[in-house]
Structure 1
């Protein structure tokens, strides 16, 4: 009881510090922490690379007011933050991958990194312009494996609740087929038996194999926990990653396998998940949520349902709403959230509005709650790096809106008709192969050679929503 009391007060103290720090930073107007939120393959690394590139080169940002009005002076990457434990985001390496002789998408993120960039501008208001002449906004941005984000809902669960939820999911396809060896081992395991280390490692290994298989399945399953089992980073082999869901009611007797697994689950929450959230996400000011909706549509109803469940439960972990004079007492809050459907260039331009509308539908329930809490919200279809063109092709007397680009695994340009986006997510069945198939494209040769920043779709509109008011 005393330990829990002390922990609650420590968390309350941290909330007060976060909230006060956020309020002070906003009053000073000098720093903004941008949270780039997204699951695996949503395009966080490409988004961040393109954002930095276009700000540094003052490139393709016509709808960012500070640029359009000639008030944007320039940008410069800042030295790494005082926390030397976090590597710097490899902007130069990722840009080189996109713009090299054989352009390729950056490798998936497997560890934490961050970067800071200073934006110099002339204030728009007469009073501020006379007082300061030139102002600076420092952006702090984090990159991380999307798998880690899915651990946040675990903070509100105990081992029994998490186990029951995970096992329920594993009783439905396609998880049931992929989890066969692990489920069979569970059948032969008594959670009330001795807490044997070798048994724990064996079960955790089988469970990890299931998660890895689920990550690469055609359905594109999203809700795969714990995320560190898939991307352990510097924690590979640590005992805190040696547990798995178990059947049966808790609590388990001391010394039992169930008690061992439950203790490691709690240790994972406190030492890994809570620390990650506290150090990096609990203090963000603005948030962009990147969503690969096209891949989920390719998977049909199961993919859509899994993506919706993953995003909804994850977003519940954040504090959304406007910050008033006394709101810092409750901790830092996110006052603006932009939802972005990524890879918009994989469908023809006339369908971009429909893509944004489907994303609104997918997150309608969570959006209503965030709106009630007072957060400003926006939605758009985005391509961080544009790698196709929209073209019209005549086929059997009908004009089709197609896309032209280099398909993954090919060398030459191809024109394809991926199908038309549905008017609604309602009624999408399991079999969608005959309705649409959104393909993957490679970056085109010659990206960035004109020195104007990486080509994109609506990156400037995203920046205007997220930081435009802070550059006014």
Structure 2
């Protein structure tokens, strides 16, 4: 039996190398990871990207489409049998139906395979027929990605950092009181442990609603089938000094923290994240700016932590053959650019680049190509200029999400220098002095798409060119 199991593993290993050889040389695969924290627009991004790669009339910035090298594109079953399929058709119907609405956001890992038939350019195209390239798009919550930073943390270190971060936040007041009142040395009481974990989960949920980004562990907010399990029943506790006795509340919280890393975070890294070779990180930067300097600084720290989880750099040909991946290209995309007039887009891009400077430098040093961009995967507004107090205001007009009314909106001007936002955020300023940045929630508008056209967008073609254009 043991010899049979070993033989099976050898055979499967050889088959894996064979599959890697076939993919590397005959039908190569790009695994594109799409992530971002809550409300960044991951579901809409993937849906619009796929729709615009199938019908490329609005993709002039994608050179392979503009030059006619994409013969066809079509959806196929995803290769991972245990990963749910991204529900592209349902999400597209939600965005393009007669009464369009934003689809439900990402709550777990899903995947979609889009395959291309490509015509070679130049003399090579005269002697070779079309080749096939597969694009596997992997959607996963950014909250889960934040958990990868826990791998190098001890329970005491994580607890201390979290509790320090929560000090002074009104959303954390109830939890901090409960954590300080907990008898850490007492024998574990499961009811008390669940109550403390529930209080911490409510704290995380309130902070996310207030615009904060670094809310770990991520599965507390998106538990899936782990809801109510011991692996999600722990919380940070203040350091008391000395070793807590076996069976005590603190020792059990520490054990469950380690179990969370081993049984939740490690499998996610091994089965999904470690296989990504192109990555787009979507960021609701406008939402953070609207929430204030603390939210912007929290976002900067969270994004830097996310990049610490990546393995940026080039994959060698042998590594690709053996199924080993490194993230070769990373796009930092500030979403909802359609909420601003186009004259503000360059400023939004500059702020995005400055916010990610530390993470970008680390990725660049490792050999990865990085870029920052302001995009809207689905354009929900139109631009117009209105008269106001004898002057002209550059506004956007759209359908309000709250009540469906049409309204013109002037969000204000972003600063020319990103330091005007990032410096107060780093210094801990409670609000923006002399400035007020508003954000309006728009709903998608009814669309009339001509044959061969995907949904309207802003710079989605340029994002696609950066992420996969070199392989097309």
Question: Structure 1 residue 316 and structure 2 residue 308: aligned?
Answer: yes
Structure 2 gap segments, 5+ residues each: 1-14, 422-428
Partner of 1:5 in structure 2?
none
Mark the CA change 1:455 to 1:237 in structure 2 (over 3 Å): closer, same or farther. Answer: same
Which segment is superposed worse, 131-140 or 243-252?
A: 243-252
- In 1, Cα distance between the equivalents of 2:383 and 2:40? 22
Question: Structure 1 residue 216 and structure 2 residue 209: aligned?
Answer: yes
TM-score with structure 1 setting the length: 0.89
Partner of 2:332 in structure 1?
339
Mark the CA change 1:197 to 1:95 in structure 2 (over 3 Å): closer, same or farther. Answer: same
Question: Structure 1 residue 430 and structure 2 residue 426: aligned?
Answer: no
Partner of 2:252 in structure 1?
260
Kept in 1: contact 2:193–2:249 (CA 8 A) = yes
Structure 1 gap segments, 5+ residues each: 1-16
* Residues 9-408 of structure 1 mapped to structure 2, 5 A cutoff: 25-28=23-26, 30-83=28-81, 85-127=82-124, 129-130=125-126, 132-173=128-169, 177-217=170-210, 220-248=211-239, 249=241, 252-325=244-317, 331-408=324-401
How many residues in Structure 1 have an aligned counterpart in Structure 2? Answer: 448
Which segment is superposed worse, 146-155 or 97-106?
A: 146-155
- In 2, Cα distance between the equivalents of 1:230 and 1:349? 35
Deviation at 1:324, TM superposition (A): 3.4
Partner of 2:3 in structure 1?
none
Mark the CA change 1:202 to 1:67 in structure 2 (over 3 Å): closer, same or farther. Answer: same
Which segment is superposed worse, 320-329 or 342-351?
A: 320-329
Deviation at 1:55, TM superposition (A): 1.3
| RMSD of aligned Cα (Å) | 2.4
Mark the CA change 1:267 to 1:18 in structure 2 (over 3 Å): closer, same or farther. Answer: farther
Deviation at 1:23, TM superposition (A): 8.7
Mark the CA change 1:120 to 1:108 in structure 2 (over 3 Å): closer, same or farther. Answer: same
Kept in 2: contact 1:166–1:245 (CA 8 A) = yes
Mark the CA change 1:450 to 1:326 in structure 2 (over 3 Å): closer, same or farther. Answer: closer
- In 1, Cα distance between the equivalents of 2:243 and 2:103? 45
Mark the CA change 1:434 to 1:378 in structure 2 (over 3 Å): closer, same or farther. Answer: closer
- In 2, Cα distance between the equivalents of 1:367 and 1:234? 35
- In 1, Cα distance between the equivalents of 2:204 and 2:74? 40
Counterpart secondary structure, 2:34:
strand
Deviation at 1:21, TM superposition (A): 8.4
- In 2, Cα distance between the equivalents of 1:290 and 1:22? 30
Deviation at 1:125, TM superposition (A): 4.5
- In 2, Cα distance between the equivalents of 1:149 and 1:451? 36
Mark the CA change 1:286 to 1:141 in structure 2 (over 3 Å): closer, same or farther. Answer: same
